[in-house]
Amino acid sequence: MDLNKLKQNNIREMEVEECKKEIDRIVRELLSIKEKFYNAQNKVIANENRKIDEFLTEELGFVKDIKENFVDYRLENEEVGKIRIEVCNNYLKIQGKEYRFWLDTDFNLCKLNWAIKEDFGYEHLDRGYKIQGRENWNKELKELMKVKKVYEDTDFELMKLEGDIFYFVIEDKENYRKIKAKSLVDFIKEQLEELYYIVI
């Protein structure tokens, strides 16, 4: 028996085991961050939807129609014509006769499809396929560490939570500008002003 070869194989196996443990640790951390983010996001979205509803129906007189996956607000205005606003947990759409703005509010900051199975052993990590070989484990670890660094560097920059408000950074690709809105209600107000400006 080649003792050197056996020793090398043992070292490789130990490296893979350490790699698996480190991946497990990072995955748990990312899944924890993801869960906290979505819990906070759901609370804020519910609060924003309530404020939007009050603003559109009570202040502006929009008629509300609750659909299966979104709320449809409509208003017919002499100056602007028909205005339609769709509010969903994943998007917001504002539409006039010749004006349309779409905002994707579902910022999924954790796009990994990693999952940890019930018994929480690191050997039970699952990403929809079986990872084979030391090189692939190392590759997965490097990718996870990059994602973790993005979290640390951006601190939820796309959708930053301060108190109970998310601050959005929105890129309007059609007009090549960036819009910062304190809340979705503020964003709707800005877009309605823009709609009136365009039509008038």
pLDDT in tens, 121-159: 555 556 555 666 667 777 777 777 776 766 665 444 445
Give the residue numbers spanning the domain of 94.
Answer: 3-137+156-199
For residue 44, tell me if it sits in a domain.
yes
In sequence order, the β-bridge partners of residue 159 are 168
For residue 144, tell me if it sits in a domain.
no
For residue 151, tell me if it sits in a domain.
no
In sequence order, the β-bridge partners of residue 4 are none
For residue 145, tell me if it sits in a domain.
no
Q: What is the average pLDDT value for the chain, to the nearest integer? A: 68
Per-residue b or e along 64-87, where b marks 16 or more CB atoms closer than 10 Å to that residue's CB: eeeeeebbbbebeeeebeebebbb
For residue 146, tell me if it sits in a domain.
no
Domain count along the chain? 1
For residue 181, tell me if it sits in a domain.
yes
Percent of the chain residues past pLDDT 70, beyond the cut: 50
pLDDT-based confidence at residue 114 (cuts at 50, 70, 90): low
In sequence order, the β-bridge partners of residue 75 are 83
For residue 150, tell me if it sits in a domain.
no
For residue 128, tell me if it sits in a domain.
yes
Please check whether residue 86 is in contact with residue 76, taking contact to mean a CB–CB distance below 8 angstroms. no
**Statement: residue 165 has pLDDT above 50:** no
Arithmetic mean of pLDDT, 47-74: 88
Q: What is the pLDDT of residue 68?
A: 85
For residue range 14-42, what is the model confidence (pLDDT) as tens digits? 777 888 788 778 777 777 766 766 676 67
